Amino acid sequence: MLELKHIMFERDNKKILNDINLTIDTGKFIAITGQNGSGKSTLAKIIMGIEKPDSGQVIFEGQDITNKTIDERARMGIGFAFQQPVKFKGITVLDLIRLSANRKMNKKEACDILSTVGLCANEYIDREVNGSLSGGELKRIEIALLAVRDAKLCIFDEPEAGIDLWSFQNLIEVFENIQERTKGTTLIISHQERILKIADEIILMRNGKIQKTGKAEEVLAEMNVKPHCCKLNKGTKC
């Protein structure tokens, strides 16, 4: 469903993405991980059309979309939840949910969506999406916005960041529900082991390159994700 060919993206003499090649199939739940600054968000933005690669191609469902605009891609079925949600002035949660949904949506339905991301709907639905919302609240709204789109390809950039652990299972249910409905592909950028573990495949990035892709077990093994000894746990985890 998605193919990236020789994607290059360079800024300030730094190769932020250095020859990225990738094929992703329909119906998959894929995680992208890697160090801070390794190029994960940049890659996601290139798929959504927010950044243009210096060279290379983006193919979506057999069509070259490299020169398509953000909104064209959105209408073709690509959706993106930002790592840092955007704030507005005067635009409410309900306004955004309605804009995001590809169908007519009454207030009750919009409230139901908010509930699925763990927000008490009545308190939030008419609030402005501005700096008065907490980081976690903005993040949940951002997830809800993508959840209503029923996009064929959903890209979440660190959706778990700022979300309390208690809600973690709910978050995973949100992803499951999206995939059940759309039968599409979910691409999640994450540092969270609990998300990486449930992925069909993990893409590990390093310095603008794909260091490894493969089944979750293999990549996790390569990453050597095991409890580590350190001074903090005084060796009890070894």
Partner 1 sequence: MLREETNKAYMEKIEENLLETIAGDDVRTGAYNIRKNGKGVERQITENVKIETKKDGTGIDIYVKENTKFEIVHIPVIITQSGLKDVVYNDFYIGKNANVVIVAGCGIHNDEHNDSQHDGIHRFFLEEGAKVRYYEKHYGEGKGDGKRILNPVTEVELKEGSSLEMESVQIKGVDSTIRETRGKVYKDGNLVVTEKILTAGTQLAKTVFDVDLEEEGASVKVTSRSVATENSKQQFESKIVGNTKCFGHVECDAIIKDNAKVTAIPEIIANNVDANLIHEAAIGKIAGEQLIKLMTLGLSEKEAEEKIIEGFLK
Ligand X SMILES: Nc1ncnc2c1ncn2[C@@H]1O[C@H](COP(=O)(O)OP(=O)(O)OP(=O)(O)O)[C@@H](O)[C@H]1O
Residues that bind ligand X (CB under 6 A): 11-12, 16, 34, 36-42, 83
Q: Are 130 and 89 in contact (CB under 8 A)?
A: yes
Greatest distance between any 2 Cα atoms in the chain: 56
How near is the Cβ of 78 to ligand X at its closest, in Å?
Answer: 18
CA of 183: how far to CAs of 117, 151, 160, 175, in Å?
Answer: 20, 10, 22, 11
Distance CA(141)–CA(133), nearest Å, equals 10
Distance CA(7)–CA(59), nearest Å, equals 11
Q: Which of residues 38, 41, 100, 186 is near Mg ion by CB under 5 A?
A: 41
How near is the Cβ of 157 to partner 1 at its closest, in Å?
Answer: 11
* Token digits of residue 203: 């893409």
Query: Toward ligand X, which CB reaches closer, 34 or 49?
Result: 34
Share of the chain residues as helix, strand and coil, in percent rounded to the nearest 5: 35, 25, 40
Distance CA(39)–CA(51), nearest Å, equals 12
**Cβ-based burial of 98 (10 A; exposed 0-12, middle 13-18, buried ≥19):** middle
**Site mask for partner 1 (CB under 8 A), range 117-156, x = bound:** ----------------------------x---x-------
192 binds, among ligand X, Mg ion, partner 1, none (CB under 5 to 8 A by kind): none
42 binds, among Mg ion, partner 1, ligand X, none (CB under 5 to 8 A by kind): ligand X
Q: Which of residues 12, 36, 62, 71 is near partner 1 by CB under 8 A?
A: 71
149 binds, among ligand X, partner 1, Mg ion, none (CB under 5 to 8 A by kind): partner 1
Q: Enumerate the β-bridge partners of residue 214.
A: 202
How near is the Cβ of 145 to partner 1 at its closest, in Å?
Answer: 7
**Site mask for partner 1 (CB under 8 A), range 37-56, x = bound:** -----------x-x------
Q: Are 219 and 204 in contact (CB under 8 A)?
A: yes
Q: Which of residues 12, 36, 62, 89 is near partner 1 by CB under 8 A?
A: 89
Stretch that binds Mg ion, among 38-46, 127-135, 144-152, 194-202 (CB under 5 A): 38-46
**Rule CB under 8 A: is residue 79 a binding residue for partner 1?**
yes
Query: Toward partner 1, which CB reaches closer, 182 or 213?
Result: 182
Q: Enumerate the β-bridge partners of residue 17.
A: 9
Q: Kindly report the backbone phi and psi dihedral angles of residue 32, in degrees, each rounded to the nearest multiple of 5, phi listed first.
A: -110, 130
Q: Are 214 and 203 in contact (CB under 8 A)?
A: no
- Interacting residues with partner 1 (CB under 8 A): 48, 50, 69-71, 74-75, 79-80, 82, 86, 88-92, 95-96, 99-100, 102, 145, 149
